[in-house]
Amino acid sequence: MAHRYDAVLCDLLTALLDSWTLWDAVARSATAGHNWRIAYLRLTYGAGPYRPYEDLVAQAAVEVGLDPHRAQELAHRFAELRPWPEVAGAFAPLVAANIPIGVATNCSEILAHVAAARTGIPFTVLVTAERAGFYKPHPRPYTVALAELGVAPDRCLFVAGSAYDLLGAQRVGLSTWWHDRIGMHQSVDAPVPLRHTQRLDDLPDFVLQP
């Protein structure tokens, strides 16, 4: 049976995982954690060529008045990350239908593998900014993932976690579903996604219908 898409590519740390709760815990308050994470997103999505992920996280901490050593604590606690509650149920039908699922993440190799394992999803492809040599929204992480998935951009849906990813995905011809879990302020002039939701429950029906 033909499906709407032959593969799904995802952001990891925002679209699939509740990383906000961990950042808040390491920052010691929800406000500080939110500000730190927003600063980190801005830095990574503006970085271009890869530089150590942990350095950007530490720089973001300094920018919002936190001790840069919080970046080390965050890395040490990555195994505490939890997927959003409906992630398992949303992706199980895709796995059952043999839809390849990939990740393109602005993260280091080591931390990405720790985080990916927390989702419970058997990813076919895991592409990090470190391996691609560039941070999203540079085209390279997306195009490497597409090549390894073996699909054309118009046959793959990208599940974005932030508006920055909408820009990057569009540049390589990917349609997007924006899983905007916390209602992020759209601070960039991003294209309109096919879907803009705060949950992923309807994802399998959207992907699998002909």
When the pLDDT of each residue in the chain is averaged and rounded to a whole number, the result is 95
Domain shared by 23 and 12, yes or no: no
Model confidence at 14: pLDDT above 90: yes
Alpha-helix residue ranges (DSSP H) falling in 120-175: 129-132, 139-149, 163-171
On the question of pLDDT at 182 being above 90, the answer is no
Max Cα–Cα distance, the chain, nearest Å: 54
Residue where a domain terminates, one of 79, 102, 128: 79
**What pLDDT, on the 0 to 100 scale, is given for residue 72?**
97
| The last residue of a domain, from among 79, 95, 117 | 79
- Residue 2 reports pLDDT greater than 90: no
- Say whether both 131 and 172 belong to one domain: yes
91: in domain: yes
1 in a domain, yes or no?
no
pLDDT at residue 41 greater than cutoff 90: no
Q: Using CA atoms, how far apart are residues 16 and 94, in angstroms rounded to an integer?
A: 15
Does one domain contain both 72 and 103? no
Q: What is the pLDDT of residues 75-102, one digit of tens each?
A: 999 999 999 999 999 999 999 999 999 9
Q: For residue 72, what is the enclosing H or E element?
A: helix 70-76
Task: Let me know whether 75 and 126 are in one domain.
Answer: no
pTM assigned to the model: 0.95
The model's pLDDT over 91-133, given as tens digits with 9 standing for 90+, comes to: 999 999 999 999 999 999 999 999 999 999 999 999 999 999 9
For 48-76, what is each residue's pLDDT tens digit?
A: 999 999 999 999 999 999 999 999 999 99
Give the domain extent around 154: 7-18+82-208
Domain containing residue 137: CATH number = 3.40.50.1000
